[in-house]
Copies of this chain bind each other. A is one copy, B any other.
Amino acid sequence: MKNPDTNVEFRAANFADLPAVIALLANDPLGSTREDMGPPVAEPYLMAFKAIEADANQLLAVAVTKRGEVVGTLQISFLPGISRMGSWRGQIEAVRVAETQRNTGLGQKMFEWAILRCRQKGCQLVQLTTDRSRPDAHRFYENLGFVDSHMGYKMPL
């Protein structure tokens, strides 16, 4: 394991971070077939960014080095619900760490930050799904304390 960059800051993404977030999502075996890195930033990404910004229960986050480089991203959706005694859930999606920062502990620090944000919002559960074809991710989540109790179904429309 490399040394983690202790100067990485975690914060909500702003509009200027969007190209870097898209590049992180695209730099991935599954993401590379699904994203359009541009430039320019494709219109659907701009609309999605605006929708996330307009929704107080969405947090698109980035990990940024002191030099201003975006080296990680994830999105938290804070979900109110009736079940489990009216619990809020924090759902984490679209997680990426830059290739240069893998195996440095950055992913773990980013998750610790995200889980803290979920606690601060009053969530009683954190949940995520991960593609069956990502065994490294499974180990990572299990090491963090997540339990693989559910099956994740998807249907494209």
Q: Which residue numbers of A lie inside 8 Å of B, CB to CB?
A: 18, 21-22, 25, 31, 34-36, 42, 44-49, 51-52, 55-58, 60, 75, 77, 79-88, 90-91, 93-94, 115, 118-119, 123-132, 138, 141-142, 144-157
A47-B86, A84-B34 are contacts. A129–B157 as well, Cβ < 8 Å?
A: no
State how many angstroms separate the Cβ of A132 from the closest Cβ of chain B.
6
Task: Name the B residues within 8 Å of A81 (CB-CB).
Answer: 48, 52, 75, 93-94
Our pick among B44, B46, B82, B153 for the contact of A147 (Cβ within 8 Å) is: B153
State how many angstroms separate the Cβ of A112 from the closest Cβ of chain B.
12
- Sample (7) of A-B pairs whose CB atoms are under 8 Å apart: A21-B82, A34-B83, A45-B85, A83-B94, A125-B156, A131-B149, A142-B153
Task: Name the B residues within 8 Å of A124 (CB-CB).
Answer: 156-157
Task: Name the B residues within 8 Å of A42 (CB-CB).
Answer: 85-86
Our pick among B57, B86, B123 for the contact of A45 (Cβ within 8 Å) is: B86
Contact B150 A146 (CB under 8 A): no
Contact A83 B25 (CB under 8 A): yes
